[in-house]
Chains A and B, each alone.
Chain A
Amino acid sequence: DQQVKQNSPSLSVQEGRISILNCDYTNSMFDYFLWYKKYPAEGPTFLISISSIKDKNEDGRFTVFLNKSAKHLSLHIVPSQPGDSAVYFCAASARSTSGTYKYIFGTGTRLKVLA
């Protein structure tokens, strides 16, 4: 059961335009969400996060939007740059029965920014 879904395996965007990466989740107990970027032969690197008490968080060219009623979050990259070409993972966390948190990752979206 995939609790965090990234339904678009790939996305191509022209340099300078907006990239929108989407993520859907099924567990209403998720209360913290993160986006990671992964280049080949490297581990994922943290991009941006959002708590469930917010609906938007912005950091430079990156903005994450959270729609709790739709159980949907999206990452906007404006303007897109060729160096943004990577695989993007969304992740969600919820408090487990032991009181700790663990992260559930989506399957990733490969973004290609065309020069």
Chain B
Amino acid sequence: KAGVTQTPRYLIKTRGQQVTLSCSPISGHRSVSWYQQTPGQGLQFLFEYFSETQRNKGNFPGRFSGRQFSNSRSEMNVSTLELGDSALYLCASSFGQPKETQYFGPGTRLLVL
């Protein structure tokens, strides 16, 4: 089975721009979660989508949004980029049942200049 894939792997943007990141989950997985990893902050939960609906949300501003398509692929969008948005963005997929192991993609490294 193919793992979780994320595109692009690297991205450079400037302040004020917007960016869209993509995540394809493992086949059969219906839950996709997004995390932001920055040095010293660990993995901060952004949101989770299940069957095209946002099921959980972390404490990030409204500039961060996401969506999930009928094939479970998910996109994350960040509008009006700030320097502090520079981070590794990880997505993780699972079947969507409680207390399940999540499987992570390699991440998209975003640099905001």
Contacts and interface: CB of A to CB of B under 8 A. Distances in A.
Given A96-B56, A98-B55, A43 B99 contact: no
B45 A103 contact: yes
A23 to B, nearest CB: 11
B104 A34 contact: no
Nearest to A6: B42
Interface residues of A, number: 30
A105 B83 CA distance: 23
Contacts, number: 61
B56 A102 contact: yes
A25 interface: no
Given A89-B43, A106-B42, A107-B40, A46 B102 contact: yes
Contacts of B43: 44, 89, 91, 105
Interface in A69-115: 89, 91, 93, 95-96, 98, 100-108
Interface residues of B, number: 26
Interface string B81-110: 000000000101000001111111111000
B70 interface: no
* Chain A interface mostly: strand
A43 B4 contact: yes
Contact of B35 (A93, A101, A105, A107): A105
Contact of A41 (B44, B55, B106): B106
Interface in B1-51: 4, 33, 35, 40-45, 48, 50
A12 interface: no
Interface in A1-53: 4, 6, 9, 31-32, 34, 36, 41-46, 49, 51
Interface of B: 4, 33, 35, 40-45, 48, 50, 55-56, 58, 90, 92, 98-107
| 3 residue pairs, one from A and one from B, having the closest CB atoms | A43-B104, A107-B42, A105-B43
